[in-house]
């Protein structure tokens, strides 16, 4: 009989020739269990998704309640569906006035696509500025504004009028002309570059550039949002409000959903000339919206957010070793910097063998990702760090 592993390799399109290939049977909280019963700590949350842990009972309950009522009813934007309405209201209540209107989609890439279209429509301009080593998604538009040439070159021609600037460099702004710039798209904390926080100076400069040149500031908080850095959204650390906020991943509590968020006035640009300026069949699926509201409530109301600085501190204080060159990041979005890809890979492989799942980054192969469910406890952090330190010692 053909095994699941064989079907996976032969009948499912592969994204690399070396998939992790763990065969997970169930998941609960911080833990994944494979088909042999082996237990793993998930230190990466399915890449910043399981922020409230796997199958949090309140998320599961919200999903079950919605399953009793309805699944898909109609394409986005036509019917008044309570799970969508309630999520939009929750977001509007917890975001600044300039971000009071949500457009729900299915993924991070789609949130970026919608945001770029909105910026072009609102400004009547065409250029998009983004930054080196940025990752914004894999659809054609999102790929076009990514900051890694290696990933892009095989797929050209991509979107025209994209200018890639250097992240965290304000010097380059002195001679910058933004006459035809619709928007500046930035991750306040770059994820796939290896967790590189923007400096406050850099984001303030971007805000001023946009204000002075009638262009929109778009924050990609697909990875840094939904509580991961200790605030609901990372922009709150910087006291800067973007014109458009893109979110996804952790907002769904494990269900697929994304959103681009702006002001009600701005969003009207997608309603007329042409009408239906952005449409989606499944965007804001009622089950995903119900799960998302439950996840946001958990983050906010059960003091998960307020515990994050102490958890970050514990990781930072335990992970002291000469092999760790630097610990970067904010909250529970951290990177351990090593000296080479070879050592990083050996450490990660050993961690996984010893029951701690972690990985590296798309554009940074000599650092290790630490982005566990935010529900991780002090004892679990100590256990995970012991496994990591042990792996570092093993590779010598
Ligand atoms: N932006 C950022 C910062 C991301 O980390 C990702 C996903 N890794 C995306 C966009 C794309 O999201 P998705 O895979 O849901 O399309």
| 308/328 Cα distance (integer angstroms) | 15
Average pLDDT, the chain: 97
Residue 107 CB less than 6 A away from ligand 1: yes
* Contact assessment for residue 230 and residue 331, using Cβ atoms and an 8 Å cutoff: yes
Give the closest residue (by CA) to ligand 1 atom 11: 137
> Are both 191 and 133 inside the same structural domain?
yes
Q: The domain that contains 330 carries what CATH number? A: 3.90.1150.10
| 50/23 Cα distance (integer angstroms) | 18
Domain interval for residue 328: 4-55+303-395
> Are both 138 and 209 inside the same structural domain?
yes
Side by side, the strands of the sheet bearing 24-28 are 24-28, 31-34, 39-42, 356-357
Look at residues 144, 150, 151, 118 and name the one whose alpha carbon lies nearest to residue 129. Answer: 144
> Are both 8 and 88 inside the same structural domain?
no
Neighbours of 37 (CB within 10 A): 7
> Are both 372 and 307 inside the same structural domain?
yes
> Are both 295 and 361 inside the same structural domain?
no
* Helix/strand/coil for 300: helix
Domain end, chosen from 278, 301, 324, is at: 301
Nearby residues of 81 by Cβ (< 8 Å), 6 or more positions away: 70, 73, 284, 286, 289
Domain end, chosen from 232, 266, 301, is at: 301
Q: What would the pLDDT profile of 34-92 be if each residue is shown by its tens digit?
A: 999 999 999 999 999 999 999 999 999 999 999 999 999 999 999 999 999 999 999 99
Measured in Å, residue 125 CA sits from the centre of ligand 1 at 25
Can you give the pTM of this predicted structure?
0.98
- Which value, to the nearest 10 degrees, does the dihedral of the CA atoms of residues 371, 374, 376, 381 take? 40
Q: The domain that contains 146 carries what CATH number? A: 3.40.640.10
> Are both 333 and 384 inside the same structural domain?
yes
Q: Which residues pair with 104 in a beta bridge?
A: 259
| 259/289 Cα distance (integer angstroms) | 11
* Residue 395 clears pLDDT 90, i.e. is over it: no
Pocket test for ligand 1, best of 44, 46, 51, 108 (most atoms within 8 A of CB): 108
pLDDT at 124: 97
Measured in Å, residue 361 CA sits from the centre of ligand 1 at 12
Q: What would the pLDDT profile of 185-239 be if each residue is shown by its tens digit?
A: 999 999 999 999 999 999 999 999 999 999 999 999 999 999 999 999 999 999 9
Residue 248 CB less than 6 A away from ligand 1: yes
* Contact assessment for residue 179 and residue 312, using Cβ atoms and an 8 Å cutoff: no
| 336/316 Cα distance (integer angstroms) | 10
Q: How many domains does the chain have?
A: 2
Residue 135 CB less than 6 A away from ligand 1: yes
pLDDT at 302: 72
| 140/146 Cα distance (integer angstroms) | 10
Residue 223 CB less than 6 A away from ligand 1: yes
Stretch 356-378: mean pLDDT:
97
Q: Which two tokens stand for residue 57?
A: 């009972």
Q: What are phi and psi of 262, to 5 degrees?
A: -150, -160
Domain end, chosen from 282, 301, 320, is at: 301
pLDDT at 175: 86
| 195/316 Cα distance (integer angstroms) | 15
pLDDT at 315: 98
Residue 129 CB less than 6 A away from ligand 1: no
Measured in Å, residue 136 CA sits from the centre of ligand 1 at 5
Residue 222 CB less than 6 A away from ligand 1: yes
């Amino acid at each position: 009989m053909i095994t699941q592993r064989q079907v996976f390799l032969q009948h499912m399109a592969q994204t690399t020739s070396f998939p992790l290939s763990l065969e997970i049977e169930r998941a609960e909280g911080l833990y994944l269990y494979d088909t042999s019963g082996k237990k793993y700590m998930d230190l990466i949350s399915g890449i910043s998704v399981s922020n409230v842990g796997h199958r949090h009972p309140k998320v599961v309950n919200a999903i079950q309640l919605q399953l009793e009522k309805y699944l898909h009813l109609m394409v986005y934007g036509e019917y008044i569906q309570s799970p969508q309405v309630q999520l939009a209201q929750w977001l509007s209540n917890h975001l600044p006035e300039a971000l009071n209107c949500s457009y729900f989609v299915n993924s991070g890439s789609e949130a970026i696509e919608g945001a770029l279209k909105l910026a072009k429509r609102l400004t009547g301009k065409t250029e998009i500025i983004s930054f080196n080593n940025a990752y914004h998604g894999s659809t054609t538009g999102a790929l076009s504004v990514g900051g890694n040439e290696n990933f892009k070159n095989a797929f050209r021609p991509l979107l025209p009028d994209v200018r890639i600037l250097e992240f965290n460099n304000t010097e380059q702004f002195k001679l910058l002309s933004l006459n035809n710039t619709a928007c500046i798209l930035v991750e306040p904390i770059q994820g796939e570059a290896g967790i590189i926080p923007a400096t406050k100076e850099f984001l303030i400069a971007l805000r001023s550039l946009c204000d002075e040149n009638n262009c929109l500031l778009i924050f990609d908080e697909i990875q840094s949002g939904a509580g991961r850095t200790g605030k609901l959204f990372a922009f709150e650390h910087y006291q800067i409000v973007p014109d458009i906020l893109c979110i996804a991943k952790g907002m769904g509590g494990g269900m697929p959903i994304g959103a681009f968020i702006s002001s009600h006035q701005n969003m009207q640009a997608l309603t007329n000339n042409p009408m239906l300026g952005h449409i989606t069949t499944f965007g804001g699926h009622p089950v995903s919206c119900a799960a998302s509201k439950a996840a946001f409530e958990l983050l906010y109301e059960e003091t998960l957010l307020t515990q994050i600085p102490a958890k970050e501190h514990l990781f930072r204080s335990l992970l002291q070793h000469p092999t760790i060159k630097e610990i970067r990041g904010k909250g529970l979005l951290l990177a351990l910097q090593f000296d080479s890809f070879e050592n990083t890979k050996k450490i990660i492989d050993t961690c996984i063998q010893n029951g701690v799942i972690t990985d590296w980054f798309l554009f940074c192969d000599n650092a290790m990702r630490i982005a566990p469910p935010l529900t991780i406890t002090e004892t679990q952090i100590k256990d995970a760090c012991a496994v990591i330190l042990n792996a570092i010692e093993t590779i010598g």
